[in-house]
């Protein structure tokens, strides 16, 4: 951005550029999102957080200004920049694969750790944009070999999303594809093609449902039947078992909190691992709970003899935070879905969301909605968002540990918390006005990015991090303003 700003200044004619920017309503509306944050300073209390937030969000103003007032690019140069973008994402996936395979050493707790340059969620969004941009190059390439090359690039990106176990990336990809296919159906004149497209959509939905159903059935089958009146009271070494008969949580059909002897587990664990039995695993969850789940997944009791039977690789898996023997490999999409379903069960059972990405979001959203109710019209201000969340976590007696008490992880809610209903309506206006005004609704490159961004805002507060702000601001401004209109 500094290079772009330097180039913008060296080009000169700054006065006319500023006038042009003022007259370019779509660009000014985009930039006004940062102006709204400045207005929020009027009634904020925490100016330290406010200044940090403003610094992060500078691209919201600067990039639309620079790109909209710079001469549009010829189509070939515009395409070259898109290709460079895709090449950089390919390079990042290769580096991540080398990290995963151990060629580049980096300690990995889970698959999120292989994204070393950027958050794994932001990385997944970049991959999704690259997939649809590669589709654009398939369409415009006249050479069959280039079409094959771009198709292989798309295939690699999809495989990498699966390898990375990115439920966010896969969901965004599927939803965006679904929307594009629906649009395609309405534009097709041939009934045969319409029915073929509908069949493709139906097949995809059916496959997804059956796949998740299979995982659910695996969890529900082989349920262990236990007679609570005949539970043994002592281990083979004469130590007393603890039986949590009130808990219904299971792993591979086995009740987790039956036959637990902490005394033996702690003694044996401390001989086999340097990690604290009463501490946390590498994912930040209770190691004791992770170990109990892992042993239960094997149908073992939670005592010294059972723990002694685990292999060294299984001990390492527990340390990493793996909770099920069937999904102890560091890459397992099925295991990721299984763990998500287990998180939901745990949350339904006792309201515990600590360390679990999906159910923590349920807590974040619940707190955000309550803050919005109490600050409905103009919100809490630019710098008071985290303070308000901290206050309401206490007020609502949330079970989340302090380290997990974060923002809403939903951009729409984040805007509403900070700026209320008025701010949310203006935010939506900044999203849709440029698209409509510049007639970009049917522009393939822009609309695919736009859909991806809108979906990401539901699951993440994308604009609350530097990487997320830059992802949105640059691609949005570049795709809206960088091309010659006659192209």
**Residue among 362, 352, 112, 399 nearest 256 (CA):** 352
Q: Which residue has the tokens 């969850």?
A: 285
pTM of the shown model: 0.85
Residue 349 has a pLDDT of 79
**Residue among 81, 55, 53, 59 nearest 5 (CA):** 59
Whole-number Å distance between alpha carbons of 83 and 89: 10
Q: How many CB atoms lie within 10 A of CB 218?
A: 14
> Which residues make Cβ contacts (< 8 Å) with residue 329, sequence separation at least 6?
335
Task: Please report, for residues 226, 250, 265, 323, 360, the alpha-carbon distance to residue 295 in angstroms, rounded to integers and kept in the order given.
Answer: 17, 11, 11, 8, 25
Residue 328 has a pLDDT of 66
Whole-number Å distance between alpha carbons of 435 and 443: 10
Quick one: tokens of 91? 């390079």
β partners of residue 280: 286
Whole-number Å distance between alpha carbons of 304 and 320: 20
> Which residues make Cβ contacts (< 8 Å) with residue 86, sequence separation at least 6?
130, 133, 134, 153
Quick one: tokens of 112? 């999120």
Quick one: tokens of 412? 């729409």
CB 111 within 8 Å of CB 120: yes
Task: Please report, for residues 10, 246, 329, 337, the alpha-carbon distance to residue 456 in angstroms, rounded to integers and kept in the order given.
Answer: 36, 39, 28, 19
Report, as ranges of residue numbers, the positions in the chain whose pLDDT lies below 50: 487
Quick one: tokens of 339? 């763990």
- State whether residue 461 is helix, strand or coil: coil
> Which residues make Cβ contacts (< 8 Å) with residue 41, sequence separation at least 6?
47, 50, 381, 382, 383
Whole-number Å distance between alpha carbons of 392 and 413: 15
pLDDT (tens digit, 9 = 90+) per residue, 136-189? Answer: 999 999 899 999 999 999 999 999 998 888 888 999 999 999 899 888 887 777
> Which residues make Cβ contacts (< 8 Å) with residue 215, sequence separation at least 6?
334, 337, 338, 341
Helix (H) / strand (E) containing 379: none
- State whether residue 250 is helix, strand or coil: strand
Q: Which residue has the tokens 């985009």?
A: 30
Q: Return the domain boundaries, the chain.
A: 228-327
Residue 487 has a pLDDT of 45
CB 353 within 8 Å of CB 345: no
CB 30 within 8 Å of CB 434: yes
CB 162 within 8 Å of CB 128: no
Backbone angles phi and psi of 82, in degrees to 5: -60, -40
């Amino acid at each position: 951005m500094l290079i772009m700003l330097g180039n913008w200044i060296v080009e000169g004619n700054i006065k006319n550029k500023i006038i042009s920017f003022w007259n370019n309503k779509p660009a000014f509306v985009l930039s006004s999102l940062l102006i709204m944050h400045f207005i929020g300073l009027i009634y904020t209390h925490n100016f330290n957080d406010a200044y940090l937030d403003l610094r992060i969000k500078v691209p919201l103003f600067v990039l639309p200004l620079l790109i909209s007032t710079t001469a549009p690019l010829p189509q070939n140069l515009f395409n070259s920049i898109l290709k460079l973008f895709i090449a950089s994402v390919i390079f990042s996936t290769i580096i991540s694969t080398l990290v995963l395979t151990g060629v580049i050493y980096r300690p990995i707790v889970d698959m999120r750790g292989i994204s070393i340059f950027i958050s794994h969620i932001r990385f997944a969004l970049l991959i999704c944009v690259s997939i649809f941009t590669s589709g654009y190059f398939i369409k415009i390439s006249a050479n069959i070999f280039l079409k094959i090359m771009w198709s292989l690039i798309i295939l690699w990106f999809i495989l990498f999303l699966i390898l990375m176990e990115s439920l966010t990336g896969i969901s965004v990809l599927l939803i965006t594809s679904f929307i594009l296919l629906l649009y395609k159906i309405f534009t097709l004149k041939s009934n045969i093609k319409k029915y073929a497209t509908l069949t493709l959509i139906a097949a995809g939905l059916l496959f997804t449902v059956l796949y998740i159903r299979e995982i659910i059935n695996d969890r529900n089958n082989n349920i262990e039947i236990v007679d609570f009146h005949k539970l043994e009271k002592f281990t083979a070494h004469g130590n007393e078992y603890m039986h949590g008969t009130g808990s219904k949580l299971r792993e591979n059909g086995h009740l987790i909190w039956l036959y637990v002897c902490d005394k033996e587990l702690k003694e044996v664990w401390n001989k086999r691992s340097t990690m604290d039995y009463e501490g946390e695993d590498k994912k930040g969850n209770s190691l004791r709970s992770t170990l109990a789940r892992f042993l239960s997944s094997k149908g073992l009791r939670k005592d010294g003899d059972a723990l002694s039977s685990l292999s060294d690789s299984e001990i390492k898996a527990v340390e990493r935070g793996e909770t099920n023997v069937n999904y102890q490999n560091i890459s397992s999409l099925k295991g990721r879905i299984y763990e998500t379903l287990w998180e939901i069960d745990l949350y339904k059972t006792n309201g515990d969301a600590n360390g679990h990405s999906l159910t923590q979001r349920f807590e974040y959203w619940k707190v955000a909605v309550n803050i919005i109710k109490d600050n409905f019209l103009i919100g809490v201000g630019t710098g008071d968002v985290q303070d308000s969340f901290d206050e309401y976590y206490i007020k609502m007696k949330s079970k989340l540990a302090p380290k997990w008490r974060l923002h809403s992880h939903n951009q729409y809610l984040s805007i509403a918390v900070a700026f209320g209903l008025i701010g949310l309506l203006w935010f939506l206006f900044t999203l849709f006005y440029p698209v409509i005004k510049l007639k970009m609704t049917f522009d393939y490159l822009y609309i695919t990015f736009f859909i991806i961004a809108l979906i990401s805002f539901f699951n993440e507060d994308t604009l609350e991090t530097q990487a997320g702000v830059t992802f949105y601001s640059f691609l949005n401004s570049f795709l809206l303003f960088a091309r010659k209109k006659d192209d």
